[in-house]
Amino acid sequence: MTRWLVALLLVAGCGGLGPSVADQPNTLTTMGFGLPDEHATARVKVFRDRRPEVDLRVNEGALDEQQFLSAVAADDPPDLVYADRRKLGGYAARGAVQDLGPCLRRHQVDLKVFREAAVRQVTYAGTVYGVPDFFSVRVLILNNPVLREAGVDPATLSTTDWQRLAETTAKLARTEDGRLRRIGFDPRVPEFVALWAKANGADLIGDEPHLDDPRVVEAVRYTTGLVRAQGGWAAFKAFRDTFDSFGANNEFVTGQVAAMAMDSWYVNTIAANSPDADVTVAPFTDRQGNPLTEAGGQAWAIPQGARHPELACEFIATMTAADTWVTAAKARRDALAEKGKPYSGTFTGNRAADEKIFSEVYDPRGIRVLEQGVRVLQSVQDKAFALPPNPAASDLVRSWESAVTRVLLGQQSPEESMAQARREADRAITRVGGR
């Protein structure tokens, strides 16, 4: 009996030391990618139809950075990783992902058809480490009835004239019994501080951090001042936390927000949950009045040590090809149509795909927020900027967001806080050997 037990324990124990799934031939494993809707399932089907012999294993869920890097360190990485493009530079600098140049040439993937800002995000030190997938931008969303009621023409609200925007914000914000009841304008800081700094003519980072640049400091002072003028950060944030942003009674329907800067995906959310909401989507503009936006989205990359890099490359080429995107867009449109819902289009990093999708598949079904909003979103796609990849990207974002938060909370002046952020950023870059 004892011998059997020992033998069983040995067998069970050795189970963990055998070859992993990634070692099996004709197997592709992904990390950070899920199958939530037709954008994913239809594209995966295209690949599976082309390569039925491949056992594609999609590891659902958002990317767990530590899990991913541990897998690479343990020489047991997935074949593909799906990550936020802003983080890819850090992975590249650490040697966690592969140079995709040769692979893309073999599969004749032309990066010129991808949006410039997205390509910039996946290029580190002149080498391409990823292929852009979705593409998002940042715009203004205006609550027409609230603006009109306050005597503000939605067509005139913009981020060009900062003095005027501050005055309009004060006019639109509403406080009752000492409590904030309506946000006049939400600048979305600290998340959008890079966009505000760019609008003021400064990049937060270039070859080195510019966090203490006077133009950045001015942008921080201005945006935090907008919040302070609306009751201060504690009340402002607490009020924002009460919004039912993903429901039919979102902040635009209830009139809790007059205007705000926001990511483009929220236009879809409003259209899906409150199609009758009377809102205007407007471009964010710099201080000269030029449309300006910040790019975001994900990218596909192949981890260092992946067992099937050639197959992984073929998968990436397939998933990001214009025809595959169009197939997915049609599947998405049809699925939504069955539920009687509009299809708001899909914004991808592939410009050729977007052109086909919006000319052949897009189906707004007369919903005004989509018809008006999507035109604006399309018009700013190529106006997007992206911060350059940086090996200390996570630490840099933390340094400037913490700095803006300190100013919002009144703990430091903009000058002091951004100077501290600069010191922290310098230390982070030095630490990861980015200099």
Q: 311: which residues sit within 8 A by CB, 6+ positions away?
A: 26, 28, 51, 54, 79
Taking the C-alpha atoms of residue 355 and residue 114, their distance in angstroms, rounded to an integer, is 12
| Cβ partners under 8 Å of residue 114, min gap 6 | 131, 132, 320, 349, 350, 351
Q: How far is the CB of 72 from other proteins (least distance, A)?
A: 6
Nearer of residues 132 and 391 to other proteins, judged by Cβ = 391
The answer to the question of residue 190 lying near other proteins (CB under 8 A) is yes
SS3 of 227-262:
HHCCCCHHHHHHHHCCCCCCCCCCCCCCCCECEEEE
Residue 392: CB minimum distance to other proteins, A: 8
Instruction: Check binding of 235 to other proteins (CB under 8 A).
Output: yes
Cα separation of 411 and 292, whole Å?
31
Tokens of 272: 């899906």
Pick the closer one to other proteins by CB: 212 or 314: 212
In the complex, minimum distance from the CB of residue 292 to other proteins, in angstroms, rounded to a whole number: 23
Does position 296 interact with other proteins (CB under 8 A)? The reply is no
CB of 318 to other proteins, least distance (A): 29
The Cα 402–Cα 408 span in angstroms is 10
- Binding-site member from 55, 65, 84, 116 for other proteins (CB under 8 A): 65
CA triplet 104, 310, 390: central angle to 5 degrees? Answer: 55
- Distance in angstroms (rounded) separating the CA atoms of residues 194 and 220: 10
Tell which positions 376-435 bind other proteins, by CB under 8 A: 394-395, 397-398, 401-402, 405-406, 408-409, 411, 428, 431-432
Out of 25, 34, 95, 214, the only residue in the binding site for other proteins (CB under 8 A) is 95
Closest CA to 84 of 40, 119, 32, 39: 32
Number of residues in contact with other proteins under rule CB under 8 A:
36
Q: Which two tokens stand for residue 105?
A: 């040439």
Q: Is residue 61 close enough to count as binding other proteins by CB under 8 A?
A: no
- Does position 180 bind other proteins by CB under 8 A? yes
- Provide, rounded to whole angstroms, the least separation between the CB of residue 419 and other proteins: 14
Report the residue from 35, 73, 125, 170 that binds other proteins according to the rule CB under 8 A.
73
Closest by CA position to 131, among listed 52, 19, 190, 43: 43
| Minimal distance, residue 260 CB to other proteins, in Å | 15
10 Å Cβ neighbour count for 120? 18
Shortest distance, position 96 Cβ to other proteins, whole Å: 6
Residue 254 near other proteins by CB under 8 A: no
Residue number, 193 or 386, with CB nearest to other proteins: 193
Among 50, 179, 375, 435, binds other proteins (CB under 8 A): 179
Residue closer to other proteins by CB (options 180, 361) is 180
Per the listing, tokens 């997205």 go with 118
Least separation in angstroms between residue 70's CB and other proteins is 6
Helix, strand, coil content of the chain in percent (nearest 5)? 50, 15, 35
- Does 10 interact with other proteins (rule: CB under 8 A)? no
Task: Note whether 66 binds other proteins by CB under 8 A.
Answer: yes
In the list 241, 338, 339, 340, the residue contacting other proteins (rule: CB under 8 A) is 241
- Which of the ranges 38-46, 80-88, 92-100, 382-390 carries the binding residues for other proteins, by CB under 8 A? 92-100
The region that residue 432 occupies, defined by phi over 0 for left and psi between -120 and 50 for alpha, beta otherwise, is alpha
Q: Is 69 near other proteins (CB under 8 A)?
A: yes
Cα–Cα distance for residue pair 270/149, rounded to 1 Å: 21
Is 265 near other proteins (CB under 8 A)?
no
Closer residue to other proteins (CB): 40 or 428: 428
* Euclidean distance between CA atoms 216 and 345, whole angstroms: 35
- Which residue from 233, 265, 358, 385 is in contact with other proteins, where contact means CB under 8 A? 233
Backbone angles phi, psi at 193, to 5 degrees: -65, -30
Q: Which stretch binds other proteins (CB under 8 A): 28-36, 94-102, 277-285, 356-364?
A: 94-102
Question: CB of 113: closest distance to other proteins in angstroms?
Answer: 32
Asked whether the beta carbons of 350 and 325 are under 8 A apart, the reply is yes
Residues 224, 404: contact at Cβ < 8 Å? yes
Q: List residues near other proteins by CB under 8 A.
A: 65-66, 69-70, 72-73, 94-96, 178-180, 190-191, 233-235, 237-239, 241-242, 394-395, 397-398, 401-402, 405-406, 408-409, 411, 428, 431-432
